[in-house]
Every structure is written in structure tokens, then in C-alpha cells.
């Protein structure tokens, strides 16, 4: 198992610094099905961690639990040492734990810049609805901050284009830019490159690395193994809601139970 790269202040005198994210026994049932089953997951500051597993393994349910969209049946979630298990989504975001917007949640009839402006208000308790209602009165500092984020995501040339007119890869990058506007300490990315061509996925994964290098920790769910293996320093494998394996990309790709789980899933889909 590898130790993650850590940013921020060195923690002198501590052998093992407190993880940024730590779940213990995280469990969520849907009826009789344990979608997430006693998962212990830790992510240290500055890491890029991959969360992988066959379809239905519980990855998205994990993200829904971490971001407060659904409540766990059992277990705890700690973020930066605080118990956030029962917090609501806007409270989780305010602490700096932000998940990306999926493609479908971009505001297609708004420009790229307006989408990022809305991302600034992910913290807002009243939610995006009211912000949308009062839009077009954005303070200049918000516009400036949003342009910075767009620039960082390589989208400044597209600031005034409607989201729906952007190529697929740019729409995904815009989803990440919206999340970045909320200044996350930990960014949860659910399948950021699935369905992309090699060129597009290469660009988005380069953006993910840049985001980490600038100080945001990353937890990444992705089926594209080239992207996962090439980007993550540590990988956690889920299968039927349980943690099956954990380690470096080399460790998990050589792990017999991981190979079996993926082959089993492949055969089940055949």
C-alpha cells in the first residue's frame, strides 16, 4: 500500500497525519440490498484516489453518501476530523467536499461563464433555484473569479458559448469547472471521461492532475482503466458494496480477486 502525497503544512511529530476523508463501516441498504456494505475508506490530503469496481458495485451510492444526498444506514463519515455523517448537501459543500455535476445537470441554455457563476453559489443554502431566479446581477468579483476558473479549465475561449453548443469534452470540463468554483478541498469525480475519445479523456485527466497539483484532493470513480491507472496513486476496489482490494495501480491490477470480479462482471453482461 502506498502513502499518498500530501500538500499543506507538514504535521511535525505525527507519524500518520489525520486523513482528509475517513469512512468507517459506511453502509447503505436499498430494501434488502446492501449497495454499500461496511466500507472503510480513507483519503489523505493531496492524493488522487481511484474508486473502481464492476457495474452496480456501489461507487455512485458511495458518492451520494459522502456528499449528503442520501443518508447511510450505518457507519460514519469524517471530513478533516469532523463528523459529517448527517450533514445536508449544502453543508457538506460549504466544508469543501464537492462532487462534480454530471453532464445532464449543466444549464444547457446558459453560457459556460454563467454555469461557472452558478457553481460559485453551490455553498448557498437557498440553493441554485433562487440564484437562477435573480441572475444577471452578478457582482464583478464573481465574474472575474469565474473567468479565472474557466481559464484554468482551458475554456476561456468558450466563455460566452451556450453550454449545449460545446463539444462533449468541453461540457465535461465545464462540469468540473462548476465544481471548482466552489473551491473544493476534496473533489469527487464520477466518471469524468466515460464515453470520451482518447484525445478528450487525455485532456480531462490532465486537468484532474493540475487540480490536484494546485491543492485539491481527488476521489475519482471511472471505468476507463487507462485513465484510472495513469492518474491515480492509490485505488480502492468495490464489489457488491464491499471493499475487495486496495493498493497501487500495479497491486490492484495484479490482484486475483479483482481480476475475477471484473471477469465475472464481464461474463454476467455477455
Ligand X SMILES: Nc1ncnc2c1ncn2[C@@H]1O[C@H](COP(=O)(O)OP(=O)(O)OP(=O)(O)O)[C@@H](O)[C@H]1O
Contact 260, 54 (CB under 8 A): no
Site string for ligand X, 18-37 (x = CB under 6 A): ------------x--x-x--
Question: Could you give the C-alpha distances from 153 to 149, 176, 187, 243, in angstroms and in order?
Answer: 6, 8, 15, 33
Q: Which of 23, 44, 60, 217 contacts ligand X by CB under 6 A? A: 60
End-to-end Cα distance, the chain: 33
Count of positions on this chain that bind ligand X (CB under 6 A): 11
Q: Which does 53 bind (CB under 5 to 8 A by kind): ligand X, Mg ion, none?
A: ligand X
60 is a site residue for Mg ion (CB under 5 A): yes
99 is a site residue for ligand X (CB under 6 A): no
The three grid cell numbers given for residue 61, joined into one nine-digit string: 451510492
Beta carbon of residue 219, minimum distance to ligand X (angstroms, whole number): 13
17 is a site residue for ligand X (CB under 6 A): no
53 is a site residue for ligand X (CB under 6 A): yes
Judging by DSSP bridges, how do beta strands 82-83 and 74-79 pair with one another?
A: antiparallel
Q: Which of 6, 29, 38, 56 contacts ligand X by CB under 6 A? A: 56
Q: Which does 46 bind (CB under 5 to 8 A by kind): ligand X, Mg ion, none?
A: none
Cβ nearer to Mg ion, comparing 59 with 145: 59
Nearest residue to Mg ion, scored by beta-carbon proximity: 60
Beta carbon of residue 268, minimum distance to ligand X (angstroms, whole number): 12
Beta carbon of residue 197, minimum distance to Mg ion (angstroms, whole number): 21
Angle between helices 168-181 and 198-213 (to 10 degrees): 10
262 is a site residue for ligand X (CB under 6 A): no
208 is a site residue for ligand X (CB under 6 A): no
57 is a site residue for ligand X (CB under 6 A): yes
Beta carbon of residue 246, minimum distance to ligand X (angstroms, whole number): 16
58 is a site residue for ligand X (CB under 6 A): yes
59 is a site residue for ligand X (CB under 6 A): yes
72 is a site residue for ligand X (CB under 6 A): no
Which positions lie near ligand X, rule CB under 6 A? Answer: 30, 33, 35, 53, 55-61
Amino acid at each position: 500500500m502506498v502513502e499518498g502525497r500530501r500538500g499543506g503544512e507538514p504535521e511535525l511529530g505525527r507519524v500518520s497525519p489525520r486523513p482528509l476523508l475517513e469512512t468507517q463501516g459506511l453502509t447503505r441498504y436499498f430494501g434488502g440490498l446492501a449497495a454499500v456494505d461496511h466500507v472503510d475508506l480513507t483519503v489523505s490530503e493531496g492524493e488522487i484516489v481511484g474508486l473502481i469496481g464492476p457495474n452496480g458495485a456501489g461507487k455512485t451510492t458511495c458518492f451520494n453518501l459522502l456528499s449528503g444526498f442520501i443518508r447511510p444506514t450505518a457507519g460514519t463519515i469524517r471530513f478533516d476530523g469532523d463528523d459529517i455523517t448527517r450533514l445536508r448537501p449544502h453543508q457538506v459543500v460549504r466544508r469543501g467536499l464537492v462532487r462534480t455535476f454530471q453532464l445532464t445537470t449543466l444549464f444547457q441554455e446558459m453560457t459556460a461563464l454563467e454555469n461557472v457563476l452558478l457553481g460559485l453559489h453551490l455553498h448557498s443554502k437557498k440553493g441554485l433555484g433562487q440564484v437562477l431566479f435573480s441572475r444577471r446581477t452578478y457582482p464583478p468579483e464573481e465574474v472575474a473569479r469565474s473567468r479565472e476558473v474557466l481559464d484554468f479549465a482551458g475554456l476561456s475561449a468558450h466563455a460566452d458559448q451556450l453550454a449545449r453548443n460545446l463539444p462533449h469534452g468541453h461540457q465535461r470540463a465545464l462540469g468540473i469547472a462548476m465544481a471548482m468554483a466552489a473551491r473544493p478541498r476534496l473533489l469527487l469525480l464520477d466518471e469524468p471521461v466515460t464515453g470520451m475519445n482518447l484525445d478528450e479523456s487525455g485532456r480531462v485527466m490532465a486537468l484532474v492532475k493540475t487540480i490536484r497539483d494546485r491543492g485539491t484532493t481527488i476521489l475519482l470513480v471511472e471505468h476507463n482503466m487507462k485513465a484510472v491507472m495513469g492518474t491515480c496513486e492509490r485505488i480502492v476496489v468495490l464489489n457488491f458494496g464491499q471493499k475487495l482490494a486496495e493498493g497501487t495501480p500495479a497491486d490492484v491490477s495484479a490482484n486475483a480477486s479483482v481480476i475475477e470480479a471484473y471477469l465475472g462482471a464481464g461474463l454476467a453482461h455477455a
